[in-house]
Amino acid sequence: MGNKKILVVDDESDMRIFVSIVVETMGFVPVTAQDGAEALEKARAHLPDLVILDVMMPKIDDGIQTYEQFRTDQKLSHIPIIMLSAIAKKTFVHSIRMLRPWRDARIPEPEAYMEKPPDADELSKLISELLPKEN
């Protein structure tokens, strides 16, 4: 059975476990990574159907740069991304705009944004909206 894969990226193991349990409960296969470099490597190896990406405090740049790399990589740019973060969405959106003020190409905003700590039901609902179950 071709279960859909969801890449869960967070530097905190508790959060990776929490999100992975939500993902498994929904019938998806979690693939985990603890930083941006590992996330990109695993994404290229597994081509997940969805990415749940932490902006990763205290290294805020890591999550933002990882997001930018997903959005500018031809193989990965189509994958929907849910950002999970302790920072407010407008701060994140401002940061991705600041990355490329000199370029015409704007990095699109993530498909969904959820502030930490995530609520399991809310997260499930977001995942369902972005990855409808195949009948």
Q: Report the C-alpha gap between 1 and 39 in whole angstroms.
A: 24
Cα separation of the two ends of the chain? 13
> How does pLDDT run across 5-56, given as a tens digit for each residue?
999 999 999 999 999 999 999 999 999 999 999 999 999 999 999 999 998 7
Question: Where residue 67 falls among pLDDT bands split at 50, 70, 90?
Answer: very high
Beta bridge partners, 9, equal: 33, 53
Q: Would the pLDDT of 1 be above 50?
A: no
Give the global pTM: 0.91
Element (H or E) spanning 53, and its range? Answer: strand 50-54
Q: Tell me 57's DSSP state.
A: S
Q: What is the mean pLDDT of residues 54-68?
A: 81
**Structural domains in the chain plus CATH codes:** 5-127 (3.40.50.2300)
Given this model, what pLDDT does residue 42 score?
Answer: 97
